[in-house]
Amino acid sequence: MMKKYSTVTIRETQELKKVQISSDLKPKIYKNIEEKWQSIINTAARIVGVPSGLIMQLNEETIEVFLTSNTEGNPYEKGEEAKLIYGLYCETVIGTQDKLLVPNARKNKVWKKNNPDVNINMISYLGFPINWPDGEIFGTVCVLDSKENHYNSDYEDLLRQIKYHIEDDLELLLLNKDLNIKNTQLEQLNNTKSRFLSLISHDIRGNIGSISNFLQLITSDFDNFDKNELKNSLVSLNQISCASFQALENLLRWTKSDLVELKPEIVTVNIIEIVEEILSFFNHVLILKAIKVNKFFYSSEVIVKTDKNMITVILRNIISNAIKYNKRDGELTIQVVLENNKPKIIIKDTGIGMTEAVIDKLFNYNNKHTLGTEGESSAGIGLLLTQEFLDKLGIKVSVKSELDKGTSFKIVL
């Protein structure tokens, strides 16, 4: 947000002073605060015994009557503005950042000419500057009289205390805004952590379920397993348990991070290696569902610079869904091609497919989960986290699908 400035004239010296005024980032004055200030300025005008008490706000090209006392004979109206071309009383207060006392402008050679306030018979003035805690100008608080008035020290102290009171309110408004921002950030942080926890717990729960199913398969048909088959099965079980351990490690690492501000750690990775690791990870599921895997890579090494953990989560979730919603004896095709000198990953399945309405909401969180083709459960969180990582890495994904014919994801790195 750009800073905002105004130029005021200090009439005694004819100095033009550029000052920083309330920016758009500053909070608005709440109605209850405004009502309190209105009561204060009403009381001040009555105590001092003048027709006019004002709280003024400085804008870029004008100064505005923010609040005006409801005292008899007050010529000023709320919202009334004057251009900064006259060197008004309040301009000098803002420019000097000091009290201004003018007992009688008609007897003062500096103030008697070209003074709009004198033209409406406001010939005496006492005012103080009002600033935000960071020094940005809000405006002034002042009283004006239609007769000569030297404003004794008690009246000066009263107006000075009103200035401090208003500035305290401005500080509280800023603190309240900061608190609301921090609460929003905290809520976002908690939501993000919950998403990560759901993702990791989903992975761990799925792995443990896979281990249980695999062990059940082995024990139910143990006598028909030869030594090599049993060894391969145990290797797969070991891979799954290692993946669960890694998921727990990720959980511990991520919960110590500021997940709202989680930044990608860009390193050099081999996409083919990551795809192969993911396929190896899902090998037992592919076997159980008798899904044929077709791989077409333009090179055995496709090197890109990205965040390894994030791209792994992205590919793992998309491949996981391609398997989960694929049909028994179906096919999973993974292509890595070069398009306009950019690696492109295409993941196709021959599964149940999706409607356009489902595709539109694919990367949103949905607590109404669609079970896999063989009853596989879903936490409904994987593709939501996938979208967050896609955004952080600047990766674009397009999806095409046809009911009962399958789905294709195209990921351009």
User: Could you say which of 111, 133, 151 is where a domain stops?
Assistant: 151
Which positions ≥6 away from 228 have C-beta within 8 Å? none
* pLDDT at 289 (0 to 100): 86
Residue 413 placed within a domain: yes
Per-residue buried b or exposed e for 215-227, using 16+ beta carbons within 10 Å of the residue's own CB = eeeeeeeeeeeee
User: Could you say which of 151, 167, 183 is where a domain stops?
Assistant: 151
- Report strand pairing: 292-297 vs 331-339: parallel
* pLDDT at 360 (0 to 100): 81
Of the pLDDT bands very low, low, confident and very high (cuts 50, 70, 90), residue 192 is: low
Please, how many CA atoms are within 13 Å of residue 54, restricted to the half-sphere of its CB? 32
What percent of the chain has pLDDT above 70?
Answer: 86
Q: Which of residues 363 and 47 earns the better pLDDT score?
A: 47
User: Could you say which of 128, 151, 174 is where a domain stops?
Assistant: 151
Cα gap 119→111, rounded to integer Å: 11
Of the pLDDT bands very low, low, confident and very high (cuts 50, 70, 90), residue 372 is: low
What's the domain range around 285? 263-413
3-29 confidence digits (pLDDT tens)? 899 999 999 999 999 999 998 889 999
Cα gap 130→111, rounded to integer Å: 22
Residue 87 placed within a domain: yes
Of the pLDDT bands very low, low, confident and very high (cuts 50, 70, 90), residue 237 is: confident
Whether the pLDDT of residue 408 is over 50: the answer is yes
Residue 256 placed within a domain: no
Residue 101 placed within a domain: yes
Residue 221 placed within a domain: no
Q: Do 277 and 410 reside in the same domain of the chain?
A: yes
266-302 confidence digits (pLDDT tens)? 999 999 999 999 998 888 788 878 899 999 999 989 9
**DSSP helix/strand/coil, 249:** helix
Q: Do 139 and 277 reside in the same domain of the chain?
A: no
Question: Which CATH number characterizes residue 307's domain?
Answer: 3.30.565.10
Angle at 296 between CA 210 and CA 294, to 5 degrees: 40
pLDDT (average), residues 100-112: 95
Whether the pLDDT of residue 240 is over 80: the answer is no
Structure pTM?
0.56
Cα gap 17→10, rounded to integer Å: 7
Q: Are 323 and 363 in contact (CB under 8 A)?
A: no
Question: Which CATH number characterizes residue 72's domain?
Answer: 3.30.450.40
* Residues paired with residue 139 on neighbouring β-strands, in sequence order: 57, 130
Domain count, the chain: 2
Whether the pLDDT of residue 367 is over 50: the answer is no
